[in-house]
Structure 1
Amino acid sequence: MTIKVIRGNPTPEELAAALAVVRARAAALAAVPPGIPRPASAWSDPGRVAQQRVPAPSPTAWSRTYWPA
């Protein structure tokens, strides 16, 4: 694994702290047994995108699926 500093000039202590966080996260993920599913990310939750309920099926429902009320 390679870490590259794009901007700024971190001190050796700041770089060591960031690397410790990354390594701790990687170790935590590696410690999960293969049979246990990992929790799904909130980014993949469809409820995050759908702010309103989908209109009930009706002859005019197609026109209400995109435009907000």
Structure 2
Amino acid sequence: MTPIQVLHGQPTPEELATVLAVVSARAAAAQAAAEAARRAGGGPASAWNDRARRMRHTPKPGLNVWRTSGWAG
């Protein structure tokens, strides 16, 4: 966290503590929201959890495609 400077006035220690608590709470909330967005938008955590792997792939033209088209995907 960057240092905070009081530019005008003479805040009491209680007022300064209140401002620092609010700023710290907002920074923590922003960081938690960014982490949640990264987890939600990043896709599956590992290839084992990727549901797209379970989908059957279309056989591509080539040698022995007729044989591999009946295999479970």
TM-score, normalisation: structure 2: 0.46
Please state which structure has a larger fraction of its residues in helix: 2
Larger RCO, structures 1/2 (Cα 8 Å, 6+ apart): 2
Larger Rg: 2
